[in-house]
Amino acid sequence: MTNQFKSLDEWLDWQQDLHPKNIDFKIERIKSVYNKLNIKKIAKKTIIIAGTNGKGSTVAILESLLHESKFKVGSFTSPHILRYNERIKISKQQIDDESLIDAFKVIDTARGNTTLTYFEFATLAAFYIFSKQNLDFALLEVGLGGRLDATNIIDSDLSIITSIGIDHTEFLGSTIDSIANEKAGVMRPFCYSIFAGANPPATLLSTAQSNNISFIFGHNHFSHNIYNNYWEWRGMHGTQLKLPLMPLTGDFQYNHASAALQAIEIIDKNILKYESFLTVGLKNVSLMGRYQKCSKHPEIITDVAHNEDSAIKLFDNLNREDKKKTYAVIGLLNDKDAYSLIRPLAPIIEKWFIGTVDSERGMNSSEIKERVISLIGDDKIDCFENMNSAFEAAYSTLYLNDRLIIYGSFYTVSEFMNYQKHTEKKILNE
């Protein structure tokens, strides 16, 4: 037992090495520990959110809408960017260290000789903390896949699948059908499941049909239109709303908002009667590292885009803005397809600064270069042993009217934010 740990950092360092595999899809292990915690219910209503991209955005939108509608909401998301505490929020506030440590002590005692992954510890901590809070809603973001994800031990009241794309092929398979099958695992018989997009894979439709699941999707059962200063939403039960634009960049974010509103209409249509609450909720949506502008002169944008679909969306966002000389810093994990992540942005990037992410899962910068040199050429690539060196080199290149994109993984964005926090940088090339 490890109850002698005093600080959150000590607990987290220990958890990193507790289980032999960082990712281990054996859901029975976490179920057994969960049952020993004697948790009766984590919230009055639970919504689980799966998908290749857009999970975090959907949770953030739902969280803000429900919070401003005067409900007590808990959210569990991953990974974090700056602080572990970001993963668990109550009423939009990050959980404190003491609550996490208390939860870890209880879980450690309950697990006995059962080892848990870092993510499983986090998931159980969220469930334990939620169970003590008398929550109206718990929002659970799937970590990876869905069917065998630790979050999926809870029978949710409603599920949302944001999108299906190629990612994590080592664990989920290399086809849309195989990946969709894993995401479909969060669906529950006799419950609603929402697909945020317009064209759900056939696997989702067949799974729903064979398991008595009420499956609905965008532009069919519910829809939205975006205008210059507002957007309109129409729900499957007849609700029509005129709403303010969100601070999140990209039209695709309205697929997520539309699905969130549809989830609310299904759970309690009366919530949508109070448009003033919804307006405040949409205006107050915030999410780190999703096309986040960290500086204006030069323009510095961070984005956690880490697969081809999200890289395409990043390019689309950039393409809508004023044309500027644009540079990129990228760092990747070793299970990613470097070529497909760099290809969408290649036409607009003057120079690539490739770093090695500070993680045992980080892909070496020289390997990234090897995979993409045929696409962008040697003269446009500089490689570095770590991300900070890549950031330094990029800064030294920038003029005030230039733009820098930092993307490739949560780790990359996290390292930049810490770099920016601890380093005061000024652009001298005026």
Question: Which CATH number fits the domain that encloses residue 25?
Answer: 3.40.1190.10
Assess whether 120 and 261 both reside in one domain: yes
Judge whether 119 and 78 are in contact, CB under 8 Å: yes
Do the domain assignments include residue 393? yes
Judge whether 393 and 384 are in contact, CB under 8 Å: yes
Q: DSSP for 257-280?
A: HHHHHHHHHHH-GGGGG-HHHHHH
Omega of the bond prior to 298 within 30 degrees of 0, cis?
Answer: yes
pLDDT averaged over every residue in the chain: 94
Q: Flag residues of the chain having pLDDT under 70.
A: 1-3, 169, 171, 424-430
Do the domain assignments include residue 34? yes
d(C-alpha 356, C-alpha 362), whole Å = 6
Do the domain assignments include residue 429? no
What does the pLDDT read at residue 2? Answer: 55
415-421: Cβ within 8 A, 24+ apart = 415/331, 415/357, 415/358, 415/387, 415/388, 415/391, 416/302, 416/329, 416/387, 416/391, 417/81, 417/82, 417/288, 417/289, 417/294, 417/302, 418/82, 419/387, 419/388, 419/391, 420/294
Assess whether 271 and 348 both reside in one domain: no
Q: Vertex 355, ends 350 and 359: CA angle to 5°?
A: 150
Assess whether 254 and 313 both reside in one domain: no
Do the domain assignments include residue 70? yes
Nearest to 75 by CA among 304, 287, 290: 287
Do the domain assignments include residue 347? yes
User: Which residue, of 283, 315, 348, is where some domain finishes?
Assistant: 283
What does the pLDDT read at residue 3? Answer: 63
Q: What is the pLDDT of residues 343-391, one digit of tens each?
A: 999 999 999 999 999 998 999 999 999 999 999 999 999 999 999 999 9
What does the pLDDT read at residue 430? Answer: 43
Assess whether 82 and 172 both reside in one domain: yes
The count of structural domains within the chain is 2
Do the domain assignments include residue 140? yes
> What pTM does this model have?
0.94
What does the pLDDT read at residue 171? Answer: 66
d(C-alpha 21, C-alpha 57), whole Å = 28
Q: Vertex 394, ends 393 and 398: CA angle to 5°?
A: 120
User: Which residue, of 265, 283, 301, is where some domain finishes?
Assistant: 283
Q: Which CATH number covers residue 324?
A: 3.90.190.20
Assess whether 279 and 146 both reside in one domain: yes
Nearest to 58 by CA among 160, 152, 192, 165: 160
Nearest to 152 by CA among 28, 16, 21, 54: 28
Assess whether 65 and 192 both reside in one domain: yes
Assess whether 324 and 390 both reside in one domain: yes
What does the pLDDT read at residue 75? Answer: 98
User: Which residue, of 283, 314, 336, is where some domain finishes?
Assistant: 283
Range of the domain at 278: 8-283
Assess whether 35 and 158 both reside in one domain: yes
Assess whether 220 and 344 both reside in one domain: no
Assess whether 251 and 323 both reside in one domain: no
Assess whether 273 and 314 both reside in one domain: no
d(C-alpha 338, C-alpha 333), whole Å = 9
User: 244 in helix, strand or coil?
Assistant: strand
Tell me the backbone φ, ψ of residue 78, rounded to 5 degrees: -160, 160
Residue corresponding to tokens 């919804």: 278
Cα 49 to chain centroid distance, Å, stands at 10
For residue 341, the 8-state DSSP code is H
Assess whether 279 and 370 both reside in one domain: no
Do the domain assignments include residue 3? no
Do the domain assignments include residue 430? no
